[in-house]
């Protein structure tokens, strides 16, 4: 049986913002431009990403090497872009690459930013993307016990959050994917509760490892990888890294994330990569790196313990899985 899920998140890409929000947006751009001038990096937005006709695979300019990159060999471009989890385009690994390039229109794109912040508005994508983008080569560990190494292109989420001026009540950040069954035909089936939602605790969102990605391998992000804007949280299982984001909401209470809602005994809110806590149906101690034959040991926090372990120092990671 299909369940029709009502949503107020169907933001048309040609969103006409009301005057208050529009003014907020202008203020935001002015403040951001001033910050950019101070940083002597020119105007806002990577020039190519400002264009509504930009295509997946076009080369991104102004990409610098970011911190925290692993020197492990990146997984092939073909594997990264044809072996995907994106249930809005089907539950198998191949469908997203077959369907998403034909049906998803990632530009023009807007993101509603709301909740416990001083600068709520519906922002056009290009107003959110800084001129200088970073390459971050991160390990990517899926809960299904396979992994990849992905050279993302993006920018720190913390930089963006600071511009929205969160209030003291902002304890968590909730992210929502587009809901549009015409562009995302998998949403015509009630496999998950749509739209896909994920959340982070505020300190996780502000951690310098957390980025929003707009590209990979130096090129504009393909639709199947979450164009035009997706989260990347490399010490957590892949399902936390939500794709094709249309809403960012700052909240006081821990948000309910899609997979924890679907199967609360199997998927938690934290979803930190942890070889010592098995999934109820399989071990998380080892993983298969896509393209390799032998399995390898999974590392605590996916190898990022030095940067993130302190955030969970007083938590029982079996309870908060």
Which of residues 24 and 85 has its CB atom nearest to ligand MTE in the complex?
Answer: 85
Q: Rounded to the nearest 5°, which phi and psi values hold at 52?
A: -80, -10
Q: How far is the CB of 144 from ligand MTE (least distance, A)?
A: 7
Whether omega before 177 lies within 30 degrees of 0, making that bond cis, reads: no
The answer to whether 196 contacts ligand MTE (rule: CB under 6 A) is yes
The answer to whether 177 contacts ligand MTE (rule: CB under 6 A) is yes
Which of residues 27 and 98 has its CB atom nearest to ligand MTE in the complex?
Answer: 98
**Could you say which of 128, 142, 161, 260 contacts ligand MTE (CB under 6 A)?**
142
The answer to whether 312 contacts ligand MTE (rule: CB under 6 A) is no
Which of residues 39 and 262 has its CB atom nearest to ligand MTE in the complex?
Answer: 262
Residues in contact with ligand MTE, counted by CB under 6 A, come to a total of 17
Q: Which two tokens stand for residue 195?
A: 């739209």
Q: How far is CA 282 from CA 54, 144, 196, 292, in A?
A: 41, 9, 24, 20
Residues 248-287 that bind ligand MTE (CB under 6 A): none
The answer to whether 238 contacts ligand MTE (rule: CB under 6 A) is yes
Rounded Cα–Cα distance for residues 235 and 38 (Å): 32
The answer to whether 304 contacts ligand MTE (rule: CB under 6 A) is no
Q: How far is CA 249 from CA 31, 158, 171, in A?
A: 21, 14, 11
Residues 10-69 that bind ligand MTE (CB under 6 A): none
Contacts of 194 by beta carbon, 8 Å cutoff, 6+ apart? 5, 7, 88, 179, 187
The answer to whether 242 contacts ligand MTE (rule: CB under 6 A) is yes
Binding string, residues 87-126; x marks residues near ligand MTE by CB under 6 A: xx--------------------------------------
Q: Rounded to the nearest 5°, which phi and psi values hold at 238?
A: -55, -25
Which of residues 243 and 289 has its CB atom nearest to ligand MTE in the complex?
Answer: 243
- The 3-state DSSP class for residue 174 equals strand
Q: How far is the CB of 196 from ligand MTE (least distance, A)?
A: 4
**Could you say which of 155, 175, 239, 312 contacts ligand MTE (CB under 6 A)?**
239
Q: How far is the CB of 105 from ligand MTE (least distance, A)?
A: 16
Q: Which two tokens stand for residue 69?
A: 């990159």
Task: Please say whether the beta carbons of 246 and 178 come within 8 A.
Answer: yes
Rounded Cα–Cα distance for residues 177 and 175 (Å): 7
User: From the centroid of its chain, how far is CA 148?
Assistant: 16
Which of residues 97 and 129 has its CB atom nearest to ligand MTE in the complex?
Answer: 97
**Applying CB under 6 A, which residues contact ligand MTE?**
84-88, 140, 142, 177, 196, 225-226, 238-239, 241-244
């Amino acid at each position: 049986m299909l369940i029709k899920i009502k949503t107020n998140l169907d933001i048309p890409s040609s969103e006409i913002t009301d005057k208050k929000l529009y003014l907020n947006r202008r203020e935001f751009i002015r403040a951001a431009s001033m910050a950019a001038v101070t940083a002597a990096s020119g105007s806002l937005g990577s020039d190519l990403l400002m264009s509504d006709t930009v295509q997946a695979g076009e080369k991104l300019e102004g990409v610098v090497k970011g911190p925290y990159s692993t020197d492990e060999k990146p997984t092939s471009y073909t594997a990264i872009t044809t072996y995907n989890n994106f249930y809005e385009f089907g539950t198998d690994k191949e469908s997203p690459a077959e369907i998403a390039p034909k049906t998803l229109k990632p530009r023009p794109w807007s993101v509603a930013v709301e909740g416990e912040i001083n600068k709520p508005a519906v922002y056009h994508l290009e107003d959110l993307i800084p001129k200088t983008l970073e390459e971050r080569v991160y390990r990517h560990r899926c809960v299904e016990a396979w992994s990849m190494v992905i050279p993302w292109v993006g920018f720190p989420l913390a930089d963006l959050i600071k511009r929205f001026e969160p209030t003291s009540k902002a304890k968590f950040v909730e992210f929502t994917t587009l809901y549009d069954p015409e562009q995302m035909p998998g949403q015509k089936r009630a496999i998950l509760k749509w739209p896909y939602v994920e959340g982070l605790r505020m300190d996780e969102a502000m951690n310098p490892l957390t980025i929003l990605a707009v590209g990979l391998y130096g090129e504009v992000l393909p639709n199947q990888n979450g164009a035009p804007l997706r989260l990347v949280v490399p010490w957590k299982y892949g399902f936390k890294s939500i794709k094709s984001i249309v809403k960012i909401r700052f909240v006081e209470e821990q948000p309910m994330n899609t997979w924890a809602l679907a199967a609360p005994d199997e998927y938690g809110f934290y979803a930190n990569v942890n070889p010592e806590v098995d999934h109820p149906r399989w071990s998380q101690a080892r993983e298969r790196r896509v393209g390799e034959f032998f399995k390898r040991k999974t590392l605590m926090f996916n190898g990022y313990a030095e940067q993130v372990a302190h955030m969970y120092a007083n938590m029982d990671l079996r309870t908060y899985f």
